[in-house]
Structure 1
Amino acid sequence: MTTVAAYAAPAAKAPLERTTIERRPVGEHDVLIEIKFAGICHSDIHQAREGWGEAIFPMVPGHEIAGVVAEVGPGVTKFTVGDRVGVGCMVDSCRECDQCRAGLEQYCVKGMTGTYNAVGKDGEPTYGGYSTHIVVDEAYTVRIPEGLALDEAAPLLCAGITTYSPLKHWNAGPGKKVAILGMGGLGHMAVRIAHALGAEVTVLSQSLRKKDDGLKLGADHYYATSDPETFEELRGTFDVILSTVSAPLDLDRFLSLLRADGAFVNVGAPEEPVSLNLFSVIGGRKTLAGSSIGGIRETQEMLDFCAEHGFGAEIELISASEINEAYERVLASDVRYRFVIDVATI
């Protein structure tokens, strides 16, 4: 076991504080990663504050990890020391079910093992990327292309793949009208990716405050959902609406914006239940759907796609001592558009 520095929440809703944790020895197929940067995802806050249910403490959040391979196990074939690598939201799965065999490890029948707030096959809790090092099986590690800066690449391991996967699955591309609901950490990546895929992109945001940013990121149109006229003007417009909002929505209102056979896809996960009038989907044969992250193959595909198109995330680099302040700013939507921790400051 190796002792490393980390930032952890000692209990639900408690401020994160500097501590040390134990990392397992490097096994046959493991890589030891020296973490350089770790993104702050809204999911980190949900889990550290038990918004999604009972959690494991102490908790070291962080599933947007970018770093460099420092050591490899004797059976490792994918990576060598010095390689630029990333780790996303999962570090293991059963590897045997139909989903795992199909490259959909995120939907493992037995449940994927989260990068943090989970229990590994060894019975020990997993600890995430707010730490200096992590040991991960090479099968759940991805390569970060040279064209991506590590700090801007870190948020792609969650925000990037969480938006890329559904946009690909629902065929966002030329001839398709795609709306991105919310212009935060996930939303700004969704705009970039949908634009790069060739779709006509509209941002739906509470206000027009970020309109200039949205247009620069690749949106063709930008509307305020606080304006009732938006829902009249855009009724029956979109093939796909991707919701990145983690607060309850009036789903019936937004479903009215879909064309027949359109899909409203949720990647934001509110802590509260939502309600729905089923006639909102029956009329127009519409789909109300959800999507998680992507599998390992698709995550690598996403990274290569972003590098090919020359973009990472829009970030604000912070020191570890600013994590608690950053959490409050995320909740206040005061970040453009992803906080990234400089792990050298832990």
Structure 2
Amino acid sequence: MTVAKGYAAESSDSGLAPFEFERREPRPDDVSIDIDYCGVCHTDIHFVENDWGATVYPVIPGHEIVGRVTAVGPEVRNYQVGDVVGVGCMVDSCRSCSACEAGLEQYCLEGMTATYNGKDRHDESVTYGGYSNHVVVSERFVVKVPEKLDSATAAPILCAGITTYSPLRHYGVRAGHKVGVIGMGGLGHMGVKFAKALGAEVTIFTRSESKVAEAKKQGADHVIVSTDREQMKAAAESFDFLLDTVPVQHDLNPYLNCLTFDGTHILVGLLEPVEPALQAGALVGKRRVLAGSLIGGMPETQEVLDFCAEHDIECDIEMLDIHNINDAYQRMKKGDVKYRFVIDMKSLT
């Protein structure tokens, strides 16, 4: 065991505070990593505040981790001391089911092991995340950060990036397709960048007229203010794909009507029941598909980092001193960040 430092929440209303804990001893296939940067995801807030009723306290969030390798186990083949590497939303899986064998560990039939608030498959200890100074992770769940990428802006690619990249690739988005991106936060702005790089014509749906200029600045070809009935009416049956990044309940029905026949509406942000009720006729009458997608497997997570390096894509971030993490959470709840907070771990003292 090694003593580590981090920030943890010890109850649903405690906020985050400095916390010392023990990291497990490295196993033969493990990579030990000193953490340089960790992105802040809205999921972190849900776990800190126990919004989903599944938090095990104390909880140390963080699953957008970039750092440098400090040691490798004797069975490690792909990494060496000094490598810049990343760790995303999972640190293990059964490794033998059909999903894992297909490189889709996020859909492991036995359930993936989350980077934090998960249960270690070997010793049943609770996993602790990247709001800390170092981490120990199996080689299979570590990815290389290309030299061309800035380490800080690369961190959110490990969640916000792969979450939006994976469904666009899975459903075959390419030149000639019309893609609508619903929501313009950490996920949404990455979805725009990926869809554009894949050659699609991209439209952002936003609820606010005040965000139109910013949406175009992000690279959108068009902007639709979804609260404007005339604009939504004009958009009817015009999109091949909708990438829905909104993390709270919202009415899907007006958006479904914007799809062509055989169009696909992909949920990547909503984990709650659909409310209000879905009008199934909008699906049946046009053979439309309502789909969901969860992060990406390890091969695809490496792929998205390489894709970002090739296409000069990075996440727009605001650097954060970890001592201000509780204030940052409040700002995130208000949508007051463009577009992802990243913690500079040098501030962890």
Shorter-chain TM-score tier = over 0.9
CA contact 1:60–1:116 (8 Å) conserved in 2: yes
Once residues 125 and 179 of structure 2 are traced to their aligned partners in structure 1, the CA distance between those partners, rounded to angstroms, is: 42
1:328/1:270 Cα in 2 relative to 1: closer, same or farther (>3 Å)? farther
Give how far 1:171 is off: 1.4
C-alpha deviations, 1:89-138, integer Å up to 9, x for none? 00000001000000100000000000001111120000000000000001
**2:343 matched to which residue of 1?**
341
- Does residue 80 of the first structure (1) align with residue 75 of the second (2)? no
CA contact 1:99–1:109 (8 Å) conserved in 2: yes
1:106/1:41 Cα in 2 relative to 1: closer, same or farther (>3 Å)? same
- Does residue 308 of the first structure (1) align with residue 310 of the second (2)? yes
* Structure-to-structure mapping, 1:117-136, within 5 angstroms: 117-121=117-121, 122-136=123-137
Show structure 2 runs of 5+ residues with no match.
none
**1:285 matched to which residue of 2?**
287
Give how far 1:209 is off: 2.6
C-alpha deviations, 1:20-78, integer Å up to 9, x for none? 11111121010111000000001111121122232111000000001110111111101
Once residues 197 and 210 of structure 2 are traced to their aligned partners in structure 1, the CA distance between those partners, rounded to angstroms, is: 23
SS at match of 1:316: strand
Show structure 1 runs of 5+ residues with no match.
none
**1:57 matched to which residue of 2?**
57
C-alpha deviations, 1:271-313, integer Å up to 9, x for none? 4543212112111000011000100000000000001111210
SS at match of 2:210: coil
**1:3 matched to which residue of 2?**
3
RMSD between superposed Cα atoms in Å: 1.0
SS at match of 2:71: strand
CA contact 1:245–1:270 (8 Å) conserved in 2: no
Letter in 2 for 1:57: Y
Q: TM-score, normalised by structure 1?
A: 0.98
Once residues 144 and 224 of structure 1 are traced to their aligned partners in structure 2, the CA distance between those partners, rounded to angstroms, is: 37
**1:154 matched to which residue of 2?**
155
More displaced 10-residue stretch of structure 1: 22-31 or 125-134:
22-31
CA contact 2:261–2:287 (8 Å) conserved in 1: yes
Give how far 1:215 is off: 1.9
SS at match of 2:337: coil
CA contact 2:322–2:344 (8 Å) conserved in 1: yes
CA contact 2:15–2:48 (8 Å) conserved in 1: no
Q: TM-score, normalised by structure 2?
A: 0.97
Task: Give identity over the alignment, percent.
Answer: 49
- Does residue 21 of the first structure (1) align with residue 49 of the second (2)? no
**1:193 matched to which residue of 2?**
194
**1:46 matched to which residue of 2?**
46
Once residues 216 and 170 of structure 2 are traced to their aligned partners in structure 1, the CA distance between those partners, rounded to angstroms, is: 24
Give how far 1:152 is off: 0.2
**1:328 matched to which residue of 2?**
330
Give how far 1:211 is off: 2.5
More displaced 10-residue stretch of structure 1: 18-27 or 46-55:
46-55
Once residues 147 and 218 of structure 2 are traced to their aligned partners in structure 1, the CA distance between those partners, rounded to angstroms, is: 22
Once residues 308 and 208 of structure 1 are traced to their aligned partners in structure 2, the CA distance between those partners, rounded to angstroms, is: 33
Letter in 2 for 1:278: A
C-alpha deviations, 1:212-244, integer Å up to 9, x for none? 332232210011112111210101011000110
Give how far 1:167 is off: 0.7
Runs in 1 of length 4+ with deviation above 3 angstroms? 270-273
SS at match of 1:173: coil
Letter in 2 for 1:290: G
Letter in 2 for 1:31: V
SS at match of 2:343: strand
Once residues 217 and 260 of structure 2 are traced to their aligned partners in structure 1, the CA distance between those partners, rounded to angstroms, is: 27
1:270/1:103 Cα in 2 relative to 1: closer, same or farther (>3 Å)? closer
- Does residue 249 of the first structure (1) align with residue 250 of the second (2)? yes
Once residues 229 and 56 of structure 2 are traced to their aligned partners in structure 1, the CA distance between those partners, rounded to angstroms, is: 43
Letter in 2 for 1:300: Q
Q: How many residues are matched?
A: 346
CA contact 1:86–1:157 (8 Å) conserved in 2: yes
CA contact 1:64–1:156 (8 Å) conserved in 2: yes
Letter in 2 for 1:299: T
Give how far 1:143 is off: 0.2
Once residues 28 and 302 of structure 1 are traced to their aligned partners in structure 2, the CA distance between those partners, rounded to angstroms, is: 27
**1:34 matched to which residue of 2?**
34
Give how far 1:270 is off: 4.5
CA contact 1:191–1:214 (8 Å) conserved in 2: no
Once residues 13 and 111 of structure 2 are traced to their aligned partners in structure 1, the CA distance between those partners, rounded to angstroms, is: 26
CA contact 1:39–1:64 (8 Å) conserved in 2: yes
Letter in 1 for 2:118: A
Once residues 192 and 322 of structure 1 are traced to their aligned partners in structure 2, the CA distance between those partners, rounded to angstroms, is: 29
Letter in 2 for 1:18: P
